[in-house]
Amino acid sequence: MRRSVRCTVSLALGSLALLTLSVCGGGKGSPSGPTTPQTPAPTPTPSPTPEPPQSLSCAKLPVGAANPGCGEETPVFQGDIDNAIATLQAKRPDIFVGDTVVKVGAYYAGIIELLDKDGICAIFGGEELGVKSSNAFSESYDILTGHNRVRRKYMSSCAPAAIPDPNAGKPLVLKPVDTCPLPPSTWEGAVACGREPQGHYYNDVAAAIDQVLKEKPELFDYNDVSQGTRWPRVTDMKAYIRAVQDALVARGYCATYDGEEMPIKKTNDFSEHYAIKFQDKYIREGPGIYRGACYPSVF
């Protein structure tokens, strides 16, 4: 390949403007050394577009009152709650076995999305579902029994509206993951979490741990194992967690770490959570590493 070298000679001609004469090629008038080529600036990677909140109806309304007056009244949203549950049972049979809810997080998130389509703001507070269409009042419903069966029970009304609770602390928001192409999840955290019959991603997480055990033996002390198991002690916990995270990213996952568990996702619809260490000292393996799923994803 022929290399092109550009040189510039400047001549000052009295009061005339500066004239630039460019001489190209390898003739006698060319300088002996080439100039340093300029490296083009890298094109910045655009940030993922944030997703809208799960409930646009809630986003349009302010937070609730700090000290509302609450009591039993004639429920206004009972029909809407009943319709939302029936619609979800028809559209998402994977969430149910009869009237038993097997995907708790998906159940609450699905009800909230359906109510939002009807212009009703709904927020799950950990025990009850609060609903409102203005800040004049809100109602609370218990839509799940302690045995994870569908319930449709009106609990109380509050005026002015009590949701979202202005005294509640913000949920944990994990830092964005630089290796994840997905935008951050909605609502600064999950609507609801719960353990499902099995983890969809369990096999890949187990394979990632096994890969790190084989490829990075220097991270483990096999002379010290957890009692009753074959789980070796981790000599560098930070490096171990990062290695598992990297192995999952290579498998197409977004993975982060919250200090206790490793949430992973392939979509913002939900995240699954895994405990890959035991007693802050050993690795952890087996079905027990799956801890549950959150809808939508927590990060």
- Run means of pLDDT, 10 residues per run, the chain, 299 residues: 34 34 39 52 52 79 93 97 98 96 95 96 93 98 96 98 80 66 70 89 98 98 97 98 96 94 94 97 97 91
CB neighbours of residue 14 within 10 Å: 4
Cα(244)–Cα(205) distance, rounded to whole angstroms?
A: 8
d(CA 17, CA 34): 27
- pLDDT score at 23: 34
Residue 6: per-residue pLDDT: 33
Angle, helices 202-215 vs 237-250, to 10°: value is: 120
Q: Whose structure tokens read 């029909």?
A: 79
Contact in structure between 206 and 289 (CB atoms under 8 Å): yes
What is the C-alpha to C-alpha distance for residues 79 and 266, in angstroms, rounded to an integer? 35
pLDDT value of position 20: 35
Q: Which residue has the tokens 């935008």?
A: 183
Strands 232-234 and 220-225: antiparallel
Strands (E) located in the chain = 6-11, 19-24, 69-71, 96-97, 100-101, 121-124, 129-132, 138-144, 150-159, 192-194, 220-225, 232-234, 254-255, 262-267, 270-274, 277-278, 282-283, 290-295
* pLDDT score, position 35: 54
Cα(31)–Cα(7) distance, integer angstroms: 7
Unique residue bearing structure tokens 């049979």: 93
CA–CA gap between residue 256 and residue 241 (Å, rounded): 9
| Lookup: tokens for 136 | 């004049």
pLDDT of 167? 76
| pLDDT (0 to 100) of residue 179 | 78
Alpha carbon separation from 101 to 82, 90, 98, 107, 197 (Å, rounded): 15, 13, 8, 7, 11
For residues 174 and 166, give the distance between their C-alpha atoms in angstroms, rounded to a whole number.
Answer: 22
- Residues 190, 120 contacting (CB under 8 angstroms): no
Whole-number Å distance between alpha carbons of 143 and 127:
9
Q: What is the reported pTM?
A: 0.74
H or E, element range at 89: helix 78-91
Domain positions in the chain: 56-159, 186-295
CB distance 69 to 162 below 8 Å: no
